[in-house]
Amino acid sequence: MDANTYDVIVIGAGPVGENVADRVVQGGLSAAVVERELVGGECSYWACMPTKALLRSAAALRAARQVPGAREAVTGGLDVAAVLRRRDSFSSHWEDDGQASWLSSAGIALYRGQGRISSDKVVEVTGEDGAMRSLTARHAVVIATGSAALLPDIPGLRAATPWSSREAAAATSVPARLAVIGGGVVASEMAAVFSGLGSSVTVLARDGVLPLAEPFAGERVTESLREAGVRVLLGAEAGSVQRGGDGVVRITLTSGEQVEADELLVAIGRTPNTREIGLDIVGLAPGAWLTVDDTLRVVGDDGELLADGWLYAAGDVNRRVLLTHQGKYQARAVGDVIVARAKGEAIEDSPWGRHVATADERAVPQVVFTEPEIASVGLTAAAAGAAGLRIRVVDYDLGAVAGSALHADGFAGHARMVVDEDRKVVVGFTLVGPDVAELLHAATIAIVGEVPLDRLWHAVPAFPTISEVWLRLLEAYGR
Ligand SMILES: Cc1cc2nc3c(=O)[nH]c(=O)nc-3n(C[C@H](O)[C@H](O)[C@H](O)COP(=O)(O)OP(=O)(O)OC[C@H]3O[C@@H](n4cnc5c(N)ncnc54)[C@H](O)[C@@H]3O)c2cc1C
């Protein structure tokens, strides 16, 4: 066998690329992954893991302070150095030996370097030393190159050396003043992190806070950031930026107001890592988000299959859902469908079939780890309405549930269930409150399983848990 030929070649060893390769090997094919930075990708070193580690200590402290008896035992504030050390450990100290040896134990070949498609099913890998080697795929090439932070064209911004989410997640010290451009998930979580660590934070949220969530979620997070001392400027747009000789960043808003900070974080969205991967070979423009068909094969703008169907794209790079768990779900579908096609097996591509990622459109769970946490899945009321569904929205005060009051004094929260009235099933669910993240999976199961409300009535929540909100919502609906 030619040492440079594999059944499947995956470009990018983030969480998605790793999982595609693993699934392929478990299906009996051979796989190689190409990685130019760290095996484990953005999620392990600069995104999910470090940010959640940074948020967790403040959340634990808050939880202790909300329960008498525990509260009295808390005699100090956060130990910032210990928080940063714990983050370092959850980021594996930015070393990937652990994940690289997992690849090897899973029977996956790793090539370090920049991967680029150079012709049909051929990927060129350029190592750090400039050495190049060609890998050939028998069946498929999978692009799992992920995304990077987007920097807008604001005059002076680049020269002011702003932080992206990477610098924020890996920060070794806490700036006295931090300004944040953006109001989405990353901006909100980072504002909570740095405010908790002692920075004086200003958020410039042109489009509001968490604009894609149910409105009450963004409102509650805005309120709580403000209660924590964060300046949240809704509708504020940065017009220009300048870092002075004194190191201070001055952001002039389009309103004329000026905001000063020691560091500036830009968190306004992502751009695909597709600039240097040889997209021109298959007739696509470098730098584009990739569009895929049901089984995640790359298609052109007209929806026509490209590259005779040997090219797939999974994870952030196809822009379907920019979340690790959803990318890994796509990875399982891609790995399995490549194996099925290679073996001439039937393709299960009807909705909810094994080879398609149906949940990407109907049931994406997401947690925003702010205080309070926002946990949501499926459609918001606005999105369901826009999709033409005949819906009924049921709201309940989460703080009024017995389990919530026991969980923490002063527990404040809210729950919303969006019901498709024609099918009598839940299509959307949002929870806002402390520690609600772990409640989310029940809602995901209800939506994916399309469990009729009549049957959901028989799923009795244990007393006294916060999950009793399910019973209260069904009663409010009219059971
Ligand atoms: C601050 C922040 C916090 C987040 N928190 C969460 C969270 O809590 N939960 C969650 O689910 N999601 C979270 N996300 C999103 C999550 O990080 C991404 O959805 C996930 O990392 C996408 O995985 P991926 O494998 O598609 O891409 P990536 O993780 O970006 O991995 C792609 C890999 O491909 C490599 N690569 C790129 N181009 C090439 C090339 N040409 N040749 C070789 N290698 C290449 C890169 O070096 C990288 O290792 C967060 C994102 C950010 C920015």
Give Cβ neighbours of residue 37 (< 8 Å, ≥ 6 apart). Answer: none
Structure tokens at 105: 């134990």
Calpha distance 232→313 (Å, rounded):
37
- Residue 165's closest CA among 270, 17, 37? 270
Calpha distance 96→149 (Å, rounded):
21
Q: How far is CA 373 from CA 160, 378, 396, in A?
A: 32, 17, 16
Q: For strands 291-292 and 311-313, give the pairing.
A: unpaired
Ligand 1 pocket test: pick from 23, 95, 123, 145 the residue with the most ligand atoms within 8 Å of its Cβ: 145
Calpha distance 91→83 (Å, rounded):
12
Assign 3-state DSSP to the chain and report helix, strand, coil percentages, each to 5. 35, 25, 40
- pLDDT score for 2: 67
Structure tokens at 288: 């584009």
> Tell me, what amino acid is at 454?
D
CB 147 within 8 A of CB 140: no
- CB neighbours (10 Å) of residue 13? 31
Q: How far is CA 234 from CA 20, 150, 208, 226, 242, in A?
A: 41, 21, 5, 12, 22
pLDDT in tens, the chain (479 residues): 467 999 999 999 999 999 999 999 999 999 999 999 999 999 999 999 999 999 999 999 999 999 999 999 999 999 999 999 999 999 999 999 999 999 999 999 999 999 999 999 999 999 999 999 999 999 999 999 999 999 999 999 999 999 999 999 999 999 999 999 999 999 999 999 999 999 999 999 999 999 999 999 999 999 999 999 999 999 999 999 999 999 999 999 999 999 999 999 999 999 999 999 999 999 999 999 999 999 999 999 999 999 899 999 999 999 999 999 999 999 999 999 999 999 999 999 999 999 999 999 999 999 999 999 999 999 999 999 999 999 999 999 999 999 999 999 999 999 999 999 999 999 999 999 999 999 999 999 999 999 999 999 999 999 999 999 999 999 999 97
Calpha distance 59→273 (Å, rounded):
33
Ligand 1 pocket test: pick from 43, 117, 185, 290 the residue with the most ligand atoms within 8 Å of its Cβ: 43
- pLDDT score for 29: 98
Calpha distance 82→79 (Å, rounded):
5
Q: Is ligand 1 within 6 A of the CB of residue 141?
A: no
Tell me the pTM: 0.97
Q: Is ligand 1 within 6 A of the CB of residue 18?
A: no
Query: Cα torsion at 321, 387, 298, 287 (round to 10°)?
Result: -60
Token pair 């399983």 is found at 449
Token pair 């478990």 is found at 26
Q: Determine which residue's CA is closest to atom 37 belonging to ligand 1.
A: 145
Q: Which fold has domain 372-477?
A: Enolase-like; domain 1 (3.30.390)
Q: Do domains 5-45+91-148+271-359 and 372-477 have the same CATH topology?
A: no
Domain-by-domain residue ranges, the chain? 5-45+91-148+271-359, 48-90, 158-268, 372-477
CA 114, 117, 118, 120 dihedral sign is positive
Q: Is ligand 1 within 6 A of the CB of residue 14?
A: yes
- pLDDT score for 3: 77
Q: Determine which residue's CA is closest to atom 53 belonging to ligand 1.
A: 47
> Tell me, what amino acid is at 376?
S
Q: Is ligand 1 within 6 A of the CB of residue 169?
A: yes
Helices (H) and strands (E) counted in the chain, each on its own, are 15, 23
Say whether the peptide bond before residue 372 is cis (omega within 30 degrees of 0): yes
Q: Which fold has domain 5-45+91-148+271-359?
A: FAD/NAD(P)-binding domain (3.50.50)
Give Cβ neighbours of residue 334 (< 8 Å, ≥ 6 apart). Answer: 20, 23, 142, 295, 296, 312, 314
- pLDDT score for 98: 97
Calpha distance 309→470 (Å, rounded):
45
- pLDDT score for 137: 98
Between vectors from CA 189 to CA 184 and to CA 190, what angle results, nearest 5°? Answer: 100
CA 172, 44, 272, 131 dihedral sign is positive
Q: Which atom of ligand 1 is nearest to the CA of 323?
A: 19
CA 124, 127, 128, 129 dihedral sign is negative
153 alpha carbon to ligand 1 midpoint, in Å?
A: 23
70 alpha carbon to ligand 1 midpoint, in Å?
A: 38
Q: Which atom of ligand 1 is nearest to the CA of 16?
A: 25
Q: Is ligand 1 within 6 A of the CB of residue 364?
A: no
| Domain 158-268 = CATH 3.50.50.60 | yes
**Cα 51 to chain center, whole Å?**
11
Residue 133, CA atoms < 13 Å, CB-side half-sphere: 13
